[in-house]
Chains A and B, each alone.
Chain A
Amino acid sequence: MSVMADKLAGVWPEITLGLGACVCMALGLAKASSTRKLTSWVAGLFLLLSGVLAIAGPQPTSGLILPPQMVLYVKLAVVAVGVVLLLVAAQLPSSWRATHRAEEGIEPFDPANVMRGEFFAFFLFSLAGVMLTTTANDLVWLFLSLELVSLPTYVMVATSQDRIRAQESAVKYFFLGALAVAVFLYGFTLIYGATGFTDLSRVQSAAATTTSPLLTLGIVLAIVGISFKIAAVPMHFYTADVYQGAATPVTAFLAFVPKTAGFVAIIILLSMLPQWPTHGPIMWLLWIMAALTMTVGNVMGLLQTSVKRTLAYSSIAHSGYLLVGLLAGPALLTSGGGGSGAIGNGIAAVLFYLVAYALSTIGAFAVLGCVQVDGHEADSFDDISGLSTKHPGLAAVMLVCVLSLVGLPPLLGFIGKIYLFGSAMAHRGENPAFVWLVVVAVLNSAVSAVYYLRIIGACYFGKPSGRTEPQHCPSRRIAALVCGIAVVVMGVAGNRLVTLARESSQLAQPSQQTPAKVVSDELPTDIHGG
């Protein structure tokens, strides 16, 4: 039994979330309407409980591929952002006609039509999937956890709105998702074929002794497939449609949850290699993916008339920025003066920026979700036109969050971008191509400012349209406020998250014959000055 206990030690938070999902499903089928309305509270309770278990619960002693601090960081980030997402989504099921009518007593309760329980259950399942991705130590496990992230999101998109565009976008999302799964699964197959193991630590040691083109091809295919989850270039087509089609709370969910799982999975896969890919096909794949993703995202973002689509392309662009940090890789001992200090560690930058981006974009989506136009959620630029006169608070949150997405100092997004691009610059000694990538990224950031400023311009200088009405969703306002405050406070004063992210990213790599030894950085250097 002790073997079993040890195996379970790392996954108690996930088990808690799974249990919570089952409880939510059961509650959603309760006869009394008041019991059914408890579902969102119960989901939040289990989410917090899993966070407590992640910190104070039993810790795994072995069998992790990622360093334990990194696993803990990602789990806590999932819990923290998950709570914000839950606040955004808490009132969503009440907006569905069948659920609403059953709850107000207009129609008798029919279990087949009411989906409140399922929504929160899938919410928790998907979060559990992200947590499981971080603890993955086997290709089968990695595959299953990535699927656990995605499968619930398809249903969440399809049922998020009583409009046909939600279902259309869900079908689009699902089909591209199925294609992506097949592609990265073929990659996993080739990795297994090249090494003979699915156990990731054995794959790691097998890859250290032999280099085979099969393994490289496998990892390339896996990354291409997983680019669906992070909305990066070869598989980004669904993003705008799905972000627009889904209800805004679900869109916010999509902007954080699958992206995080995808980046964690790519980090796990790249750590299979004997050294971080600074040369060769995988490096060039990531380089091209990063450059194309940023450019496509920002150029297409310029052409949109819908705020949700604009933010969707901004999500694509940010995946490109994140890939820059991923490419830079963990901090190196041999990279000269540039590699020291806080800026040298690309993985830390990615982990930090995932949270920074999540808070900024969730804040923006939460504001959109708080405004209603003609009975629908706000979507086009006209819908938020003149927001500041009617709802100065919401407009202020929108301003702060969007400026953070631009990367304006001293907001959270600025620190994140400095980290990402700085880490790539610090690694320029290994490959001069990194410099060009940073140039592309900085140019892209400048271009992106145009469409971000359009959002702000609409909010502050647009003519107020009479059709907007506030939606009754107090918790969504709270979430927007939390995001706005977090973006400012953490940007100005919060080095704690940076420290956490950096401590957590000391990636375990087989370090025998490689120069790619990972160092633990000292205290954060002051990055606000420059």
Chain B
Amino acid sequence: MILMLPVLAEASFNQFAVVGVLLLIAIVFGVGNLVISKLMGPSREGPIKGLVYESGMNPITPARRRFNVRFYVVAMTFLVFDVEIVFLYPWATTFPSLAQDSPLNVLFLGRMLFFVLTTVIAFLYAWRKGVFRYD
């Protein structure tokens, strides 16, 4: 039994290593985005910038007021890209069940990459169309 312990420990370490890598990616992604936006984004100071909502909504008004149209545009874009994620889940649950050396692996990955590519094209189109322009 005692002899088994190191093996067990190694196995469980390997299991958690995956979680560790995920955590690492999450931290790098989060910090990286903050750093990049600090470096590349415009930085302005002022009373409006310091308000609660960064989107520019006035926080103290009657609740039943109309929203700016650009919120609807962002909501529409979000809706479309959000639903694309739904297709990734079934794919993600099927993919690991394929054999390690199956030729289908590449095909499956390729199909999903193609799907993501179409999303990227849609994103570029929306960008050029000025959907993300916020002024």
- Would you list which residues of chain B between 111 and 129 have a CB under 8 Å from chain A? 121, 125, 128-129
Residue A110, interface by CB 8 Å: yes
Per a CB cutoff under 8 Å, which of A1, A4, A22 touches B121? A22
Contact with B along A23-57 (1 / 0, CB 8 A): 00110010000000000000000000000000000
Residues of chain A contacted by B121 (CB below 8 angstroms) = 22
Contact assessment for B107 and A29 in the assembled complex, using a CB-CB cutoff below 8 Å: no
- Would you list which residues of chain B between 87 and 135 have a CB under 8 Å from chain A? 107, 121, 125, 128-130
Do most interface residues of chain A lie in helix, strand or loop, or is the interface mixed? loop
Contact assessment for B107 and A112 in the assembled complex, using a CB-CB cutoff below 8 Å: no
Residue A111, interface by CB 8 Å: yes
- CA of A22 to CA of B121, assembled, Å: 9
Contact assessment for A1 and B107 in the assembled complex, using a CB-CB cutoff below 8 Å: yes
- Would you list which residues of chain A between 95 and 119 have a CB under 8 Å from chain B? 110-112
B72 to chain A, nearest CB (A): 14
Q: How large is the interface on B (under 10, 10 to 19, 20 to 34, 35 or more residues)?
A: under 10
B90 to chain A, nearest CB (A): 13
- CA of A112 to CA of B107, assembled, Å: 38
Contact with B along A304-345 (1 / 0, CB 8 A): 000000000000000000000000000000000000000000
Contact assessment for B130 and A25 in the assembled complex, using a CB-CB cutoff below 8 Å: no
Number of interface residues, chain A, beta carbon within 8 A: 9
Contact assessment for A112 and B125 in the assembled complex, using a CB-CB cutoff below 8 Å: no
Residues of chain B contacted by A4 (CB below 8 angstroms) = 107
Per a CB cutoff under 8 Å, which of A1, A22, A26, A112 touches B130? A112
- CA of A25 to CA of B121, assembled, Å: 11
Residues of chain B contacted by A22 (CB below 8 angstroms) = 121
A23 to chain B, nearest CB (A): 11
A245 to chain B, nearest CB (A): 23
Residues of chain B contacted by A1 (CB below 8 angstroms) = 107
Which residue on A lies nearest to B111, using beta carbons? Answer: A4
B38 to chain A, nearest CB (A): 29
Which residue on B lies nearest to A30, using beta carbons? Answer: B128
Which residue on A lies nearest to B129, using beta carbons? Answer: A111
B18 to chain A, nearest CB (A): 32
Residues of chain B contacted by A29 (CB below 8 angstroms) = 125, 128-129
A116 to chain B, nearest CB (A): 13
Contact assessment for B128 and A111 in the assembled complex, using a CB-CB cutoff below 8 Å: yes
- CA of A4 to CA of B104, assembled, Å: 12
A304 to chain B, nearest CB (A): 37
Contact assessment for A111 and B130 in the assembled complex, using a CB-CB cutoff below 8 Å: yes
A335 to chain B, nearest CB (A): 48
A493 to chain B, nearest CB (A): 46
Residues of chain B contacted by A111 (CB below 8 angstroms) = 128-130
Residues of chain A contacted by B130 (CB below 8 angstroms) = 110-112
- CA of A36 to CA of B56, assembled, Å: 35
B69 to chain A, nearest CB (A): 12
Residues of chain A contacted by B125 (CB below 8 angstroms) = 25-26, 29
Interchain Cβ contacts under 8 Å between A and B, 14 examples: A1-B107, A4-B107, A22-B121, A25-B125, A26-B125, A29-B125, A29-B128, A29-B129, A110-B130, A111-B128, A111-B129, A111-B130, A112-B129, A112-B130
Other than the given A1-B107, A22-B121, A26-B125, 11 more pairs (CB < 8 A) read: A4-B107, A25-B125, A29-B125, A29-B128, A29-B129, A110-B130, A111-B128, A111-B129, A111-B130, A112-B129, A112-B130
Which residues of A approach B to under 8 Å, CB–CB? 1, 4, 22, 25-26, 29, 110-112
Which residues of B approach A to under 8 Å, CB–CB? 107, 121, 125, 128-130
